[in-house]
Each structure stands twice: as C-alpha cells, then as structure tokens.
Amino acid sequence: MKKTIILMTLLLLTGCAAPTAEAPEEPPVIEAPVDELPAEQETNTDGTNEENHDLTEEDIIASIDMSLNPNELGEIMILMYHGIGPEESVWQRTPDNFRKDLEYMYQNGYRMISLNDYAKGEIKTEAGFTPIILTFDDGRQNNFNLIEENGEMVLDTDCAIGILEEFKNKYPDFNVTASFFLGTNLFGRKEYAEKKLNWLIDNGYDLGNHTYSHNEMAELNPDEIQIEIGSVNNIIKQYLPDYAVETLSLPLGSNPKDEFIESMLEGEYDGNKYNTIAVLDVGWRPAYSPFDILTNFNSLYRVTASEINVDNCGIYDYFKQYDENKRERFISDGNPDVVTIPKRHNEYLNMDIVGDRIVNVY
C-alpha cells in the first residue's frame, strides 16, 4: 500500500512538473512533392543525410556567434554540497541559502550540466552560458526527503530535490541536474530507497559512488579499494540493474596511493565490474575545462558551496572573481561538436578529449 502511494506521489510530482513555458519553436517542415525530388538523390556512404553532409567545417564554424566571446577552455565550477537543513554550517546549507545560490547561478549566466557529460566533453550548454555542476555527498535524508501530509508521503519542498525541482519548474532552460554520491546511506529510510533511486534516474539526476566505509582512500590497498567501490556499486545495482555508476567522490578528499589508482578506475567486486570516469576531490578551486590538458579526471577540483570557513575559496568568492573578470569562466559556443577557444589558450587544448570535434581557434 505504502509503495503504491509513494509511486503515485512521485508520478504526480513528475506529472505536475511539466514546464509551463513555451516550447522552443521548431522550424516549419517543408515537404517537397515526390516528383520534384531530384531523380538520383545522393546517399552518403556513412548513412548521414545530405543536409548535414553539405555543411562544411567552415559553415559550422560560421554559424557560431563569436560576439558572445566563447571560451571553451575557461573554468567550470563543480560545486560540493552536503546537507540542506535548518542550520547553516560548513557542511550544510539552509533551504533559503540553497535557493539563493540557484537564483544567483541562473541570473548570472550559469546553466547546469551533469558531471558525466563533463567527463565525456559533451557540453551542450546554450551559447554564451557557463556550465556549472552540482554534487551532493553522503546521501543524506535531507537531500531527498519524503514527508507525510494528509496520510500520504509527499516530497519535502525544503530538501535538495524539492528545491531543485522548484527551480526546474521555475526556469526550464536552467537544465537542472545534480550528482548524488552515495555510500551505505541511501537518503535515510531504507524502504523508500528503491523508489527514490529510480525516480532520480528517471528525472535526469545522476548517482555516484562515495565508498562503503567512508575511509581515507590513501590508507587502502587495491583489494580494499575494490571492496569499498564495488560494494556500493552493487548496492545501487540491486535497485537499478541497468544503471552504471561511473563517478566517485573521495571521502575526505583522500586520493589513493599513486600505484593503486588503477584499482580506483577499474575493478571488480562480487562478480560485477566497475569503471570510473571522473573522481572528485574536496574543495578549494574551480575545475578546468574538460578540454584542458591540466584537467586530471582522476582528481577533479571542487568548490565548497558554503559561506562559512571557506577561506576566500567558497562559491561566492569565485562567483565574484568571474563577475569582475579576474578569472576566466567557460563560455559555451552552443555547439557540442565544436570546441571554440581564444588563441592565447591554444597550447592547453587536450586533443585526446577533443577527439572528432571541430576546433575553432580565434
């Protein structure tokens, strides 16, 4: 019975969450009468249609709005949140302060992307905007909480997900998403874990690994590392058999010994393999662009989303520096297949990550 109610509540939440803003206008489709088609229409060997094939690299680059000063080697902040609760502390933001953060981001040109997309260099951010990544460690109940209201379990509007969903409705083009890093705590009450995890994946959020025991990775040998990562992956797999957990946030920001990094990136536990594509540190500065040679995907910087004891390295310190042009933030060119960079950064471009994408240097 309970399960049905929650499912219905969650479905209702999704159902009611339909954005009210107008859908972007699609260009009208013009259908040519069949007999007006050229007799022998070329089909490309790779199966792509002719329209795309006709676009040369120059055409694609020419379609980029350079007046927006795109800079895809600028910095991207990976924000580190923990709790959302009534008392503000280093490890907890109040609901109103979290709302303040989100409002600031939206009004100042930041749009969310997932950590997984960042790690793959798939930046789909609208032209002229800066990607930003939200992460939550520890799987606290106040990240995703259900409360009883008139005998039904409903989403707590002051938990992290409650507030994120509020902004998803308020600003559909914010691209609201976040990664939640879990250990053995799956947002508190175990009986709701399955529904919560499924709901998160179905609604555009991601799950990451925060290890089983929350021990310092530097103290562990390869076998212990595999148990720490693999067992959490297997717990999540019980609820989400088809979901691959590919990201890891290091407890206490402790990196494994250099010779054991491989066990963190690839391993096997209890018959299940894992692969890690992005590993997060704790604090204290923005990450580089995924296309920057300085980016170490095995040890990515994060910015503490707090205003207490941040030692001039908190979220608003960096917002201010970007605002005053004291640091360079990533500004998207709007085309995920093109990497647009100012000439002065040319030598920092990591062609392994750029891959098949078109490079546009100006």
Residues that bind Zn ion (CB under 5 A): 137-138
CB of 236 to Zn ion, least distance (A): 16
Count of CB atoms situated within 10 Å of the CB of 313: 14
Nearer to Zn ion, 155 or 207 (CB): 207
Nearer to Zn ion, 83 or 121 (CB): 83
Distance separating alpha carbons of residues 294 and 267, to the nearest angstrom: 26
Map residue 139 onto helix, strand or coil: coil
CB of 155 to Zn ion, least distance (A): 24
Beta strands in 191-291 (DSSP E): 206-209, 247-249, 266-269, 272-275, 278-284
Nearer to Zn ion, 11 or 252 (CB): 252
237-262: burial string, b at 16+ Cβ within 10 Å, e else: bebeeebebbbbbbbebebbeeebbe
Distance separating alpha carbons of residues 189 and 151, to the nearest angstrom: 17
Nearer to Zn ion, 97 or 254 (CB): 254
Count of CB atoms situated within 10 Å of the CB of 298: 20
Nearer to Zn ion, 61 or 186 (CB): 186
CB of 138 to Zn ion, least distance (A): 5
CB of 8 to Zn ion, least distance (A): 33
Nearer to Zn ion, 181 or 322 (CB): 181
Map residue 267 onto helix, strand or coil: strand
CA distances from 77 to 148, 225, 234, 260 (A): 36, 27, 30, 27
CB of 140 to Zn ion, least distance (A): 10
| β 247-249/110-112 pair status | unpaired
Nearer to Zn ion, 137 or 246 (CB): 137
Distance separating alpha carbons of residues 1 and 326, to the nearest angstrom: 56
CB of 247 to Zn ion, least distance (A): 14
146 Rama sector, left if φ>0, alpha if ψ -120 to 50, beta otherwise: beta
Instruction: Indicate the residue whose CB is closest to Zn ion.
Output: 137
CB of 249 to Zn ion, least distance (A): 7
